[in-house]
Every structure is written in structure tokens, then in C-alpha cells.
Amino acid sequence: RFFPNITGLPPLPFSKNGTLAPWDAFTKFAGCRSGEKRDGLAKLKQYFNEFGYIQNAPSNFSDDFDDELEKALRVYQQNFNLNVTGELDDQTLQKIVLPRCGNADIVNGTTSMNSGKSASFHTTKHFHTTEH
């Protein structure tokens, strides 16, 4: 739908199917952290898979807040200049639900956004192990 000028827009209130965006439901995960299980977390994992933060997707994601989701969150937070908490804090969720480009942030497991500048996406864990 094209709106050639602002005056042509429908007046408020306006909604389609009662929701504004497909990712709004993620806000219910506020405060969720590693080890917890919440209905619908699988869809958040699909989101991170779509944008390159979770590689090698299984046929079905679980609703568990597992290590893979925490790792994806940390990389996402680094890429978007958020506090790297590994948790679904409000600041991170506010960013996740924003409309965005469909292109992935991480392609073929590599990123040169923020998280790729200090160490590669895949070698971060190895880097720490080597240091110790």
C-alpha cells in the first residue's frame, strides 16, 4: 500500500489483526535467562537463525533458553551496541522487535559487524580457552 501523502493516511486507532508487528510477542520474554523454559522461545530462536546468529538450525527449535540462544544473544547485543548480558533484558527486546532489513547480519557464520572485530564469531570460545 502506498500513501502519496500523509493526509491520505487513515486516522488512529488503526490496526491489522490486532497486532502491529510479527515480533511483538517476544516482549513477553523480558527477564528470561539461561536455564529457563518459556513457551514460544523457539520462535525467537528462529528469528536468530533467520538473521544468522544461530547456525545449523535443527528441524525444530526447543523452547529452552539454552547455551546456543545465550551465545546468539551475546553476539546480537555486541553487534547492536547493547550491554552484553546474554539475557533478554528490556533494552535488547526493544531492539529485537523493531522492523528491520531481511538480510542476515551474519552470513555463512562470519560477521564483520561489531562482534567480528575483536574475534571471529566461531572462535571466541576457543580464544578464551587458549588464554587460560
Positions that interact with another protein (CB under 8 A):
1-7, 9-12, 14-16, 20-24, 51, 79-81, 95, 97-103, 105, 107-108, 110-114, 116
State the minimum distance, in angstroms, from the CB of residue 132 to another protein.
28
Which of 8, 131 has the CB closer to another protein? 8
State the minimum distance, in angstroms, from the CB of residue 87 to another protein.
20
Which of 10, 39 has the CB closer to another protein? 10
Residue written as grid cell 533458553? 65
- Which candidate, 58, 31, 59, 63, places its Cα nearest to that of 44? 63
C-beta atoms surrounding 102 within 10 Å: 6
Which of 25, 67 has the CB closer to another protein? 25
Grid coordinates belonging to 108: 555463512
Phi, psi angles (nearest 5°) of residue 52: 95, 5
